[in-house]
A and B are shown apart, each in its own frame.
Chain A
C-alpha cells in the first residue's frame, strides 16, 4: 500500500537517495585509455578533450564510442579507385585519339578539376559521417548522435535509470577478426532502443553500461 503520510525526516531521506546514486556513479572509475584517447578514437574510457552540447558541469563522460576505423575501408578504397581512374584513361590509346582529342583543352581541364573536387567531397563527407556518428555514456545518461550523409542528424538522449537491458552481437568474419560489433540498449524512455553499430570491444561497452545500470536503481 502506498504511504499517504510520510514523516518529515523520512521525506528528506527519500530526496537524498538520487543524489547518493549520482555521487556513486561519478565515483565509478574505469581505467583510462591513454593510448586510445585521441580525436580519432573509436573506443575510449574516460576520454579527455571531448565534450558535447548540454553537458552538465558535474557530468563526466565515461565512455566514448564510434564505429571501428576498419569500417572506413570501403570509402577509402573507392576514393583510391576514383583517384586513379583519370590517369588510367590517358593511357588508353583509343580514348586519347578519339574522345580526348576532340574535346577542347580548357573543357578537359575544368572537367578533370571538377571530377577531383567531387572525389574530395565524397571522401570528406564519408569521413565526417564516421567522425560525427558517436555514442557517449556519461555518469547521468546515454547520448547517441546519428549523422548520415550531412543531410540528417539526430541526437537522442536517455537517462541511465531508464535503461532496461543491454546486449551485443558480433556476427561475421570481419567482426571477429577486428573485435567489433553492435550494442543494443533498450530503454523505458521515448526512444525504445539505442543502437551503437560496429563499435570496437562491444562486450566491454556492455559491461560498462551494465555496471552503471547496477548503480542506478529502476
Chain B
C-alpha cells in the first residue's frame, strides 16, 4: 500500500511538468510547421548545439543567475505572497553594489563580501517596503511591487548618468558604473571539461542558497509557519502565527535573495553595471518558480531547462528560424504547467476521496480495520 502510494505521489509530482513540457513542444512544433521548418530537425539542432562545452558553460551560467531569481520568487509563493518585484529589486541592488564595489579598495574576499552584502541589503529594503505597505496600509504586494519595479527603473536611470554614478565606457557610447577592481572579482570555475570558458564562481553561492532555502522552509519553525500561512492563513493565525510579521520577514528574505540575481554576472564577467545589463530576469524567475513547484531541486531543473532553451536556440539563427520561437515555448510551458498542476491537484483530491471511501467500506465489512 505505502510503496505504491509513494510511487503514485512521485508519478503525480512529475506528471504535471512533463505534461506541460510535452504540450509546449507540440505547440512549438505547430508554430515551426507554420513557418515551414521541420520541428524534429530544429530540436535536433538545438540538442546537438548544446553538446558543445562552450554552450554548456553558458547554460550553467544562465541557470545560476535564474536560480536566485526563482528562489526569491518561491520564498514568497510558499506563503501566497507574490513578489512580482524581483525585477526591480535585483536591478537596483546590482547597480548600487556595482557602484560601491567600483569605488572602494579592499582586500580580496572582503571586497566581494561588501558587494554581496550591499546587494542583499538593497534587495531586502526594496522588497521590505512592499511588505511594510502590505501589513501597515493593506496595499496588495502585487500592485506595490509592480509600481516599485518602475520606480526602480526611474531611480537607476537617474543615478546611472555621467557625473553621478556612471562613467563612459571606453570605445563605445555605453555608460556604466566604475569597473570593479580585481580584488572584487570572483574567478570562474572550470566545471565543464574540455572548455576554455569558466562557470561563474558564485555557482557555489547558488548551491548554498538552494540548500539554505530547503533548510529554512522544511527544517525551521519559521519555515513551518511560512508553509502553514501559505496553506491556510486562518488556521495559521489560530495556531499563533503572527502573519503580519511573517509577511514582512518573508518579503525581506525574498528581496535579499533577489538582490543576488545580478551578482554572479557582475563579479564574474561584467564587472560594471551598464545600460545593457540584463533586465527582466525577475519574470524569468516567476516562470521557473512555477515550473519547479517552489522546490529547490525542481527550480534547479527548471533553471537548466530555461538556460538550455535560451542558449541553444542561438543556433536557430543559422537555420532561418527566428530565435524568438523559444519564448513561445517558454510562455506555453508556464501557462500549461500551472493548468497541469491544477488538474493533477483535482485528480489527487478525487483519488484521496476514493481511497478513503474504499478503506471505510473495507473497515466496515471486516473487524480488523484499516491497515494503512
Whether chains A and B associate is no
* Residues of chain A having any CB pair with chain B under 8 Å: none
Which B residues form the contact surface with A (CB < 8 A)? none
